[in-house]
Amino acid sequence: MTGTERLWGEPIIVADKIRERIRTELGFTVNIGISENKLLAKMASDFRKPDMTHTLWKHEIPEKMWPLPVSDLFFVGRATERKLYAIGIKTIGELAAADPRLLRAHLKSQGELVWGFSHGIDVSVVQPVPADNKGYGNSTTVAFDVTDPSTAKLVLLSLAETVGMRLRAAGVKAEVIAVGIRTYDLRYMSHQMKLYNATDITIEIHRYACRLFDELWDGTPIRHLGIHTSRISDGVDMRQMDLFDGTDYAKLAKLDRTVDAVRKRYGRDSMKRAAFVGSRIDHMGGGISREKRTVDYSKMEIG
């Protein structure tokens, strides 16, 4: 933000405008943290919630950050917290006052790292261009217990729609597909496979996701499903042909691109698969829930 004050205003004013637009246009609330570096901004964003803007300048660290429990500090997980408690360190301030040599003796290099964090020292820089995604995925929590495979596979199809669309928009393909299941009792299980050919085709992603689901699911009622992809490569079509597979993948790819273009121009609900007509399952699952969007989709004509 430095140097843009005359264009946008002071950082707190800009943050408040962003926060208010997110609430009014997207329908959910966020906290925003402001500081000199990413570490302190992240710490500030975790202060009192919801829908708040907080600052954490370096001169505010003793007042705002040091009284907090050491577990609130970035990079201090449960194991690190236990080790710090064992040597009498329970707050971020106590960590900041500790001898770095003592911390290194108990936590090795991580001890010096978290000591630096307790003083607001962060050497990471803000990247002007986002790094390439290492994977693309989407997941959704279903409003009811899914107890039959046909419904579960319809949810997976809705997720394959959005994952495939994201892959194609980025001009990349995925070589590994994984399916995750969270049951009604909050157990989580996942299963993945490496594909013979990298793909961005929706129906192919769905086919592999269903295969993984059949191998993974034990029949326990499901509340959450996800599809995740990795081993991302550029979108060059280098498919190894199979004499026993008569699928016209070029035709499927062209169909997907056409559907993407229609949805981009006329809205995501301008086209949907017949399987979703009359279904409780959103035909494009994951992301911001339909209930939290401000657009009245019930007034839109669905083709």
Task: Report the SS3 class of residue 96.
Answer: helix
Report the relative pairing of strands 188-199 and 172-183 from DSSP bridges.
antiparallel
Which of 59, 84, 118 lies at the terminal end of a domain, its last residue? 118
The predicted pLDDT at position 119 comes to 96
My answer on whether 142 and 276 are in the same domain is yes
In a domain, 182, yes or no: yes
The predicted pLDDT at position 22 comes to 93
In a domain, 129, yes or no: no
Per-residue pLDDT of 61-96, as tens digits, reads 999 999 999 999 988 988 999 999 999 999 999 999
Per-residue pLDDT of 6-22, as tens digits, reads 888 899 999 999 999 99
In a domain, 85, yes or no: yes
The predicted pLDDT at position 303 comes to 37
Burial class (CB in 10 A: 0-12, 13-18, 19+), 7: exposed
In a domain, 126, yes or no: no
My answer on whether 72 and 167 are in the same domain is no
My answer on whether 91 and 170 are in the same domain is no
The predicted pLDDT at position 287 comes to 65
pLDDT band at 241; cut points 50, 70, 90: confident
For 244-271, b/e burial (b = at least 16 CB within 10 A) is eeeeebeeebeebeebbeebeeeebbee
My answer on whether 233 and 89 are in the same domain is no
My answer on whether 193 and 244 are in the same domain is yes
The predicted pLDDT at position 300 comes to 40
Per-residue pLDDT of 181-207, as tens digits, reads 999 998 999 999 999 999 999 999 999
Which of 60, 87, 118 lies at the terminal end of a domain, its last residue? 118
My answer on whether 92 and 151 are in the same domain is no
DSSP letter, residue 88? T
My answer on whether 162 and 269 are in the same domain is yes
Phi, psi of 268 (to 5 degrees): -65, -20
The predicted pLDDT at position 197 comes to 92
CATH number at residue 243: 3.30.1490.100
How many domains does one find in the chain? 2
My answer on whether 105 and 74 are in the same domain is yes
Per-residue pLDDT of 108-155, as tens digits, reads 999 999 999 999 998 777 777 777 788 999 999 998 999 999 999 999
For residues 165-178, average pLDDT: 94
Strand order of the β-sheet with 222-234 is 136-146, 222-234, 172-183, 188-199
My answer on whether 58 and 89 are in the same domain is yes
The predicted pLDDT at position 259 comes to 96
Which of 85, 118, 151 lies at the terminal end of a domain, its last residue? 118
In a domain, 130, yes or no: no
Structural domain that includes position 74: 5-118
In a domain, 213, yes or no: yes
Residue 297 has pLDDT above 70, yes or no: no
CATH number at residue 14: 1.10.150.20
Which two structure tokens, joined as six digits, stand for 244?
A: 């026993």
The predicted pLDDT at position 301 comes to 43
* Summary mean pLDDT of the chain: 90
Residue 290 has pLDDT above 90, yes or no: no
My answer on whether 260 and 293 are in the same domain is yes
My answer on whether 50 and 183 are in the same domain is no
* DSSP H or E segment with residue 155: helix 149-170
The predicted pLDDT at position 41 comes to 95
My answer on whether 111 and 191 are in the same domain is no
In a domain, 125, yes or no: no
Cis peptide before 130 (omega within 30 of 0): no
In a domain, 84, yes or no: yes
Rounded-to-integer distance, Cα 107 and Cα 163, Å: 40
Residue 294 has pLDDT above 90, yes or no: no
